Amino acid sequence: PETQNRQVRQLIDYLHNAKAYNARPNATQKNLPYEALGPALRGEVPVLFDVTTEGQIRGVLALADTFKLKVVLRGATDAWRLADTLAARKIPVILGPMMALPDGDAPYDAVYATPGVLAKAGVQIAFQSGDGGEGDSRNLPYNAALATAYGLDPDEALRAITINPARIWGVADKIGSIERGKVANLFVTTGDPLDVRSLVKHVFIKGQLQAWDDRHTRLYNEFRARPKP
């Protein structure tokens, strides 16, 4: 806790210094890190905070009040405890990965039920696949699917991996839904994209059909064609 408190104090001091720097547009001594924080301190771009506990979430809310930050929470295991507060303040939450254990005195199904609790309260949610790199990206729809078994509306689950992330990051005018004028990034499946039994048949990036050929499929076809013993 002491280390964490010290880090929070350092962050607050840093933000104060950056705010003071950006208030002087003609500063003779350039500080590029402070300049980079300018849009965030002016509320022009969202700031992502990795949080877990209720205390950490409340700390971020206090920071947002002090520095007028446009906040996005990631992880936020205890967000269900503050669902109404987050909804009232219009603070989006990026959840996942879903295969995790509840913390402390949380209900056994807290991890799975939190998306539904937040969505019903009016919080804009999105899902992440995890920190495992590209290998985890294939699990993104399944994170959303798990939440539907614990109260999240299936349509809201689909929005949480399409249009909601685009809205959170301010690019919903370009991507996130199938609409005239948006970038044609599409995929076609054999069924419900949240169903593990569905297969992706076609992928379009910027309107171009992508070659369905990669090392994984080449190896699969090679070994599938081998004679059985």
pTM greater than 0.75 (yes/no):
yes
**For 127, how many CA atoms within 13 A lie in the half-sphere containing its CB?**
33
Predicted confidence (pLDDT) per residue in 101-157, tens digit: 888 888 999 999 999 999 999 999 999 987 766 667 888 999 999 999 999 999 999
Whole-angstrom Cα Rg for the chain:
21
| Positive or negative torsion for Cα 163, 168, 169, 173 | positive
What values do phi and psi take at 178, rounded to 5? Answer: -90, 100
Q: Which helix (H) or strand (E) holds 48?
A: strand 46-51
How does pLDDT run across 39-61, given as a tens digit for each residue?
999 999 999 999 999 999 999 99
- Identity of residue 37: L
